[in-house]
Amino acid sequence: MLKQILPFAHELIQAAIEPGDLVIDATCGNGNDTVILSQTVGSDGKVLAFDVQEQAIEATSRRLSQYELTNVDLILDGHQEVAQYIPEVWKHKLAGAIFNLGYLPRSDKQVITKPVTTIQAIDTIAAHLKYGGIIVCVVYYGHPGGEEEKQALLDHLTTFDQDYFRVLQYGFINQKNNPPFILAIEKKSQRSEVTP
Amino acid sequence: MLKQILPFAHELIQAAIEPGDLVIDATCGNGNDTVILSQTVGSDGKVLAFDVQEQAIEATSRRLSQYELTNVDLILDGHQEVAQYIPEVWKHKLAGAIFNLGYLPRSDKQVITKPVTTIQAIDTIAAHLKYGGIIVCVVYYGHPGGEEEKQALLDHLTTFDQDYFRVLQYGFINQKNNPPFILAIEKKSQRSEVTP
């Protein structure tokens, strides 16, 4: 069966990271992805989990406690500030990042991710990512401002140099109500091929 | 690593078909896909392989002989005529189809797949497909007429009823020279969910 959006997003990020890696949850929200990332990188790895809403940081903190996970730095700040939060010793271990673009479910729909800061964060993470690493964006765009962010992101990512990155779009095109789709950015290992 | 177009196309079709099924190679070309399909459905299954060019039918015939595969009906006709070639006893066993849209590599580039007949063939196969079955199209569109076929196909497939079909688009969006992408149409099993 064709994989749904969220399972495929998790499959992509989990295929790229391994125990001991550094990984970023750029929009921790209710902490679902944070738990998955934390478990995947294990006690020798580290997760940086960002959100601009205190309620998201608290919800994620509770989820992590439930699972007794202690390898996550919770950061109440915009993900565009990511560079200053990556500890020097972890810099060469950044293997992946995940973004859920849109707004936090069951919260103030006025607080949404924005094109400029989303793109800043992606560019910064892409620059720091190790070879073979991946940034997975789940793009929700049915809310006011969503279409604009989606278009800005597509316009920006199509310009990524194909010698260094591969940008995949994965989505269902016959569904109503603007269902989310995936944009995944892989930093090519130096031995990668360009052929389809 | 993000899967390239051709390996992902093969993965999708192979996940949907099993020994004993009927499967259609709508554009057999040099026979690469035909061999894979033939091996997957096995001696209890059947492949209908179409092409409008004698040179493609001959090339495929040679490939099949090399592998001693005998479960393929080679059909020198347009794939839009598919309905008349499905034997009655096989009708409820149609599990998949693959299209390589564009022109036959290393041949006359004037002979290309065309929007009207491609869509006719897809609609006919979609109607006959069993639940959970899949049609995988690898869309090459860099040649004259390619952009038109791509657009007609996208326009048509976005209208497929989401209660019965899921239409996936999978492709790399930062590559030069119009690389191929995938459109996959899955006939939902009656217990499928619509949620992402």
Closest by CA to A153, choosing from A172, A140, A171, is: A140
- Provide the b/e sequence for B32-49 (b: ≥16 CB within 10 Å): bbbbbbbbbbeeebbbbb
- Residue B64 and residue B127: Cα distance in Å, rounded? 29
How many angstroms away from the CA of A182 is the closest CA of chain B?
A: 10
Nearest to A168 among B158, B161, B172 (CB): B172
Asked whether B50 and B75 are in contact (CB, 8 A), the reply is yes
Q: Is the pTM of this model over 0.90?
A: yes
Rounded to two decimals, the ipTM of the complex is: 0.93
Nearest to B180 among A12, A159, A196 (CB): A196
Q: How many CA atoms lie within 13 A of B93 on its CB side?
A: 17
Could you tell me how many CB contacts below 8 A there are between chain A and chain B? 98
pLDDT at A196: 47
SS3 A181: strand
Contacts of B114 (CB under 8 A, 6+ apart): B145, B149
Residues of A in Cβ contact (< 8 Å) with B157: 173-174
CB A2 to CB B168 under 8 A?
A: yes
Closest by CA to A105, choosing from A195, A15, A29, is: A29
Angstrom distances, CA of residue A10 to CA of A38, A178, A184, B16: 13, 20, 11, 22
Asked whether B186 and B168 are in contact (CB, 8 A), the reply is yes
CB B158 to CB A167 under 8 A?
A: no
A134-185 per-position pLDDT tens digit: 999 999 999 889 999 999 999 999 999 999 999 999 999 999 999 999 999 9
CA angle, residues B34, B38, B42, in degrees to nearest 5 = 175
Best residue of A3, A12, A154, A168 to probe chain B, by most B CBs closer than 10 Å: A168
Q: Domain A5-187: what homologous superfamily?
A: Vaccinia Virus protein VP39 (3.40.50.150)
How many angstroms away from the CA of A18 is the closest CA of chain B?
A: 13
A72-95 per-position pLDDT tens digit: 999 999 999 999 999 999 999 999
B83: phi > 0 → left, psi -120 to 50 → alpha, else beta; which? alpha
